[in-house]
Amino acid sequence: MDAVEKANTARQKRWVKDRKVGEGTYAVVYQGREASTSRKVAIKKIKVGQFKDGLDMSAIREVKYLRELHHQNVIELLDVFSSKTNLNLVLEFLDSDLEMIIQDRSLVFLPADIKAWMAMTLRGLEFCHRNFMLHRDLKPNNLLIASDGQLKIADFGLARDFADPGHKMTCQVITRWYRPPELLFGCRYYSSAVDIWSVGCIFAELMLRTPYLPGESDMDQLKTIFRALGTPTEEDWPGHTKLPDYVPVGQFPRTPLRDLFTAASGDTLNLLSRFLVYEPRRRINARDALNHAYFFALPHPSHPSKLPKPAAQTSRPLEELDGNVDMAGAGPGVKAAAPNKLKRKLTSPDGTDLRPLARRLDFTQHAKHS
Amino acid sequence: MATDFWASSHYKRWIVDRGTLKESRSDDLQYVDDPEYLDFFAIFFANVITKLGKKLNFRQRVIATAIVFFRRFYIKNSYCETDPFIVIAACCYVAGKAEESPVHIKNMVAEARLFFSQQPYGVKYFPSDNSKLAEMEFYLVADLECDLTVFHPYRTLLSICKKESSNDLQTEAGEVGVGVDDGPRYWGSGDGQLELPDDAFQLAWSIVNDTYRSDLCLLYPPHLLAITALYLAVVLHGPTRELLQQQSHSVEATPVHSSPRRSSRQSSSTSLGHAKKPSQDFVAFFADLNISMPLVATIAQEIISLYTLWERYLEDSDLVDSARGTFYGHASAQTQSGGSHSGVSTPVESLDDAQKPHGATPTFLLQVLTRMRENKLSDMAHASSGRPVAVNKMLERTQAAG
């Protein structure tokens, strides 16, 4: 056994897999622990299978970025080891996510709680953007919550760097409800502003306790956005009619945010409106958002340990979970139970699974666009 | 990728010292007749990756990443225990994915098979089965410890010389209001820029390309390689060198005259406070950089010795992106003009002597490689040879894969 393998075996022995907790497109997730300390971890076993098609692009991206990014509000990749024919990523264990919390109607959110979640999200995102990295799949489901209440951005399967501004990127990213209009219009040269739009949608969702812009198709998504925020004029968003996939989707008047967010403070609405600016260049960036008056006004953000948490999850038997696997939630975060999707379905009455799966791009598309 | 270099896996885990490099070759050294062949391997395989990368329409950056993966892999493995060709294919395949230019595994296998079967490689055994490449990919990623973010000198080069193509970008993009941020955060504040003529910049770029033919990318941080490339370019490029000579003449009359090549110590000592000229004072520019000039000088020497070695490597010279020709034009000119004290130029002179057989061709290197592998294999079969018998899993793996 050579030195390289010895080192790998040593790393492998450090971690123990306990039980399977979920399965996604390219990975099986186990709950496990560190052998010496019994600290809980999630072990994500990347399926290499019969070596048919090579490693999944999402797996490559996720590993690539998590190896570099270390921040309190970004999920931590603790270790990587290989076993037989599998790559294993050891991630910190996070038992819930923001989607579960939003949907748990027994929880009451105070404005200070929302402020705390927003601050943590923006801190993590600012860190990513400072490091020239786009997340491209922000949604409540990918914002995981640690047992101490800290929020961690997870699932970097669609992430990429934007260090080369001239490089064409695919617009088939970000789960539809959180996707900004420029991507819906087929824009191939975009920036960190795409993630900021998603943050705006999450902010609104935290206040409404239901998705803010739940479009049923890409076309309907644009309509939903314009219905909520008014159809952009050339002045609002210069040049948008020249974007590759531009189609007029009808004229809707601008309605004041105040009409929907009746209880929100002036600062809150101002920040929300700056997240949801049509023109990407004018959209607020993560750093400026953190310096926005909203975060300095009373009430101060709740301490993470004081944030509402879902009632202790009784872990369901695996079979039940397997029948209800959420492919989109195959991120590194491990949830003790599959998210309850019934409530989501109330908002999409036709019963089909409307959760758009931006991550399932076919390979040829990557080759062409990204 | 542009995360903080000092916090990156590249800096923390993949900048190694010469000792480590030497140790990583210890197994190969047992089986190779002349240690120098291993340096030729470095050139040879980098060329193979470059050519294969061009066939796949990879950008320079993707090719560079593939070469760095290859070098990192061989820190942990030896040539005689692996099949470099399948490793090369896997490096290109993973680099394509890591740099967002993925190639489908089928195309990758087909391209690699076709390319390697041609002369001078004549590799007939490259597996047509996707799964072999996928398997090698897995070993590669595991040995890379999943550190797939690689920093390259190109970015430093661009930001120092302000050659960023933000104008091209606009026209190429053809999309208005897309929110591409091209502010100071991306390209620096504009201070401390080096104004280089385009062809001098191109020369520096080519020198950077050439550094990948050696282990320099494992030894030094990329920004130092970029600055060294600029330093060499300024000295080697005709017009900038004249400028440099004029400047130094005006600064101190006599001592510089004899040797056009300035040592780094001279540059830092003479330059301060003499930036009155309308054209930029290059010496002052380098002196003002907050880096160790002796280190830059060391790297410059290493690059020069790479060219010296490379000059003896004989291959069809279809590599247009290399600065080798320019370099040699100058090097010989300088030798004639009489810098006999400069130790660098002596190997070039020795070429004129009857020492040419020390050169290497791809065909020859392939024979060397085959011999190394055969010897290694027979050693493993006959443990009585007295050599340490390391039964290595990697060999089994790669044999299975290739």
A44 marked among binding-site residues: yes
Residues of B in contact with A275 (CB under 8 A): none
Cβ–Cβ gap B97/A60 under 8 Å: yes
Q: Which of B98, B100, B149 sits opposite A370 (nearest CB)?
A: B100
* Residue B152 binned pLDDT confidence (cut-offs 50, 70, 90): very high
Span A19-25, mean pLDDT? Answer: 82
Phi, psi of B283 (to 5 degrees): -60, -45
Percent of chain A with pLDDT over 90: 45
Selected residue of A6, A9, A11, A55 to mutate for chain B interface (largest B Cβ count, 10 A): A55
Whether pLDDT at A181 is above 80 = yes
Question: Identity (one letter) of the amino acid at B321?
Answer: D
**Taking Cα atoms as reference points, which of B236, B397, B273, B261 lies closest to residue B340?**
B261
For B251-293, write each residue's pLDDT tens digit. 554 443 444 444 444 444 444 444 444 567 788 788 878 888 8
* Residue A50 binned pLDDT confidence (cut-offs 50, 70, 90): low
CB pairs under 8 A between A and B: 161
Asked if the C-beta of A60 comes within 8 angstroms of chain B's C-beta atoms, the answer is yes
For A88-142, write each residue's pLDDT tens digit. 899 999 888 999 999 998 999 999 999 999 999 999 999 999 888 999 999 999 9
* Residue B163 binned pLDDT confidence (cut-offs 50, 70, 90): low
Spot the catalytic one: A137, A155, A195, A326: A137
User: Is residue A53 among the annotated active site residues?
Assistant: no
Span B319-327, mean pLDDT? Answer: 63
Cβ–Cβ gap B134/A52 under 8 Å: yes
User: What number is the ipTM of this complex?
Assistant: 0.78
SS3 A120: helix
Cβ–Cβ gap B137/A69 under 8 Å: no
pLDDT (0 to 100) of residue B128: 86
The structural domains of chain A, with segments of one domain joined by +, span: 3-94+316-347, 96-306+357-369
pLDDT (0 to 100) of residue B281: 76
User: How many angstroms away from the CA of B311 is the closest CA of chain A?
Assistant: 34
Residues of A in contact with B177 (CB under 8 A): 182, 237-240, 279-281
CATH of B5-150+361-401, one of 1.10.3210.10, 1.10.472.10, 3.40.640.10, 3.20.20.10: 1.10.472.10
Span A27-33, mean pLDDT? Answer: 89
A24 marked among binding-site residues: yes
Q: Which residues contact A26 (CB under 8 A, 6 or more apart)?
A: A46, A47, A56, A58, A59, A330
**Higher pLDDT, residue B177 or A176:** A176
Cβ–Cβ gap B180/A85 under 8 Å: no
Cβ–Cβ gap A67/B148 under 8 Å: yes
A21 marked among binding-site residues: yes
Cβ–Cβ gap A163/B1 under 8 Å: yes
CB A370 within 8 A of CB A169: yes
CB B216 within 8 A of CB B302: yes
CATH of A3-94+316-347, one of 3.40.228.10, 3.30.200.20, 3.40.50.300, 3.40.190.10: 3.30.200.20
Cβ–Cβ gap B179/A52 under 8 Å: no
| Strand (E) or helix (H) holding B79 | none
Q: Which of A48, A167, A366 sits opposite B102 (nearest CB)?
A: A366
For B31-51, write each residue's pLDDT tens digit. 888 888 888 889 999 999 999
Q: Which of A163, A165, A191 sits opposite B169 (nearest CB)?
A: A165
The structural domains of chain B, with segments of one domain joined by +, span: 5-150+361-401, 153-164+186-357
Q: How far is CA A342 from CA A100, A178, A349, in A?
A: 12, 20, 11
A27 marked among binding-site residues: yes
Q: From start to end of chain A, where are the E strands? A: 15-23, 27-34, 40-46, 77-83, 86-92, 96-97, 133-134, 143-145, 151-153, 160-161
Cis peptide before B127 (omega within 30 of 0): no
Of A366-370, B244-248, B286-290, B349-353, the range with the highest mean pLDDT is B286-290
Residue of B nearest to A128 (CA): B3
pLDDT (0 to 100) of residue B348: 39
pLDDT (0 to 100) of residue A95: 84
Query: Architecture of domain A96-306+357-369 in CATH?
Result: Orthogonal Bundle (1.10)
